[in-house]
């Protein structure tokens, strides 16, 4: 495998990962996910760590039209709602290259499997990251982020992780990634719907008992649907994980709130509404009423904000 790492998506996660890889002497290119037909250029990007340390690197930035092929490791940090178009755009460029998806949501890998990609892996991120400016990111790692096989094998995955791993943004192989995906998605359903609606930072759930009570109700609904598809999660563990994220990211604003404020589309379709779609499939839509309502309110808030632009 070519040792180049192509990160598609120039948001907070993509920019931070690119800096860490470049400082680790890796061959990395950051590719804009939502913009095309730009000349390749270099940009100094800084990452501020949790202890206040600031790391800076000059990163090559390009768009997909700059490449006839993308050999090496393909890492997706772009918004998941663009995956179907991205899958089509990449199909003739990636050849046999592994695709590692660093995105939130359920089923975000589906279009790549349906399109016949040879290697597809899912990562669950345990970190917080937020753009301060286009060239500066706040980044804090909470735990090592696991990556599991969707299509491929553990040997190939371990090879990709060796290439991708850095001290500030560590990864590990996970044999059973699906329960971890569900656990994270349930947390996403909580943070990405409640926080944007009341326009509050992530710390609200460990500061406010009423917010935590609502979060627990969402967790209960989502766990019921997870059990329906054979994913058995401990409710107390999921709530404890939400409290850990809330405390460790106090003062930071969830990505959905940032998207709404920038008048961008949100990823709520692969969070709340994917849970609702699965519930509908099994005739259990009435069991996710609050999860659905919060999703509808986020969709309405996002669409209304975009109409003002």
pTM, full prediction: 0.91
Give the pLDDT confidence of 173-232 residue by residue, as tens digits. Answer: 999 999 999 999 999 999 999 999 999 999 999 999 999 999 999 999 999 999 999 999
Instruction: Give the span between the Cα atoms of 120 and 98, in whole angstroms.
Output: 6
pLDDT score of 2: 66
pLDDT score of 130: 86
Token representation of residue 271: 């969070």
Q: Where in the chain is the domain with CATH 3.40.50.720?
A: 4-173
Q: Is the pLDDT of residue 1 over 60?
A: no
If residue 110 lies in a helix (H) or strand (E), which one and from where to where?
helix 110-114
Instruction: Give the span between the Cα atoms of 274 and 175, in whole angstroms.
Output: 24
pLDDT band at 309 (very low <50, low <70, confident <90, very high): low
Q: Are strands 136-141 and 145-151 parallel, antiparallel or unpaired?
A: unpaired
- CATH number, domain 178-307: 1.10.1040.10
CATH 3.40.50.720 fits 4-173, yes or no: yes
Q: Where in the chain is the domain with CATH 1.10.1040.10?
A: 178-307
Cβ-Cβ contacts under 8 Å for 296 (sequence gap 6 or more):
none
Write the DSSP symbol of residue 290. H
pLDDT score of 122: 97
Q: Select the more confidently predicted residue: 233 or 253.
A: 233
Q: Is 146 helix (H, G, I), strand (E, B) or coil?
A: strand
Q: Is the pLDDT of residue 95 over 90?
A: no
pLDDT score of 14: 96
Q: Is the pLDDT of residue 264 over 80?
A: yes
The predicted model gives 283-291 an average pLDDT of 97
């Amino acid at each position: 495998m070519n040792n180049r790492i192509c990160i598609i998506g120039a948001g907070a996660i993509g920019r931070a990962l690119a800096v860490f890889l470049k400082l680790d002497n890796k061959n990395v290119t950051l590719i804009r996910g939502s913009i095309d037909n730009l000349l390749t250029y270099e940009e100094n990007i800084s990452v501020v760590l949790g202890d206040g340390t600031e790391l800076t690197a000059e990163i090559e930035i390009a768009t997909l039209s700059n490449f006839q092929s993308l050999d090496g490791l393909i890492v997706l940090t772009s918004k998941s709602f663009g995956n179907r178009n991205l899958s089509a755009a990449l199909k003739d460029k990636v050849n046999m290259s592994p695709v590692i998806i660093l995105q939130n949501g359920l089923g975000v890998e589906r279009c790549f499997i349906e399109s016949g990609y040879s290697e597809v892996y899912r990562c669950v991120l345990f970190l917080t990251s937020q753009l301060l400016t286009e060239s500066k990111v706040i980044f804090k790692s909470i735990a090592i982020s696991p990556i599991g096989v969707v299509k491929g094998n553990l040997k190939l995955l371990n090879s990709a992780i060796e290439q991708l791993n850095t001290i500030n943004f560590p990864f590990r192989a996970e044999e059973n990634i699906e329960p971890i995906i569900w656990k994270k998605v349930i947390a996403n359903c909580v943070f990405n719907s409640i926080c944007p609606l009341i326009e509050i930072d992530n710390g609200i759930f460990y500061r406010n008992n009423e917010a935590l009570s609502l979060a627990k109700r969402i967790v209960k609904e989502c766990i019921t649907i997870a059990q329906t598809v054979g994913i058995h999660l401990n409710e107390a563990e999921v709530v404890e994980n939400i409290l850990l994220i809330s405390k460790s990211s106090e003062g930071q604003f969830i990505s959905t709130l940032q998207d709404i404020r920038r008048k961008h589309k949100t990823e709520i379709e692969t969070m709340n509404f994917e849970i609702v779609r699965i519930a509908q499939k099994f005739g259990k839509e009435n069991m996710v009423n609050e999860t659905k309502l919060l999703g509808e309110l986020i969709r309405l808030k996002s669409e209304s904000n975009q109409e003002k632009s």
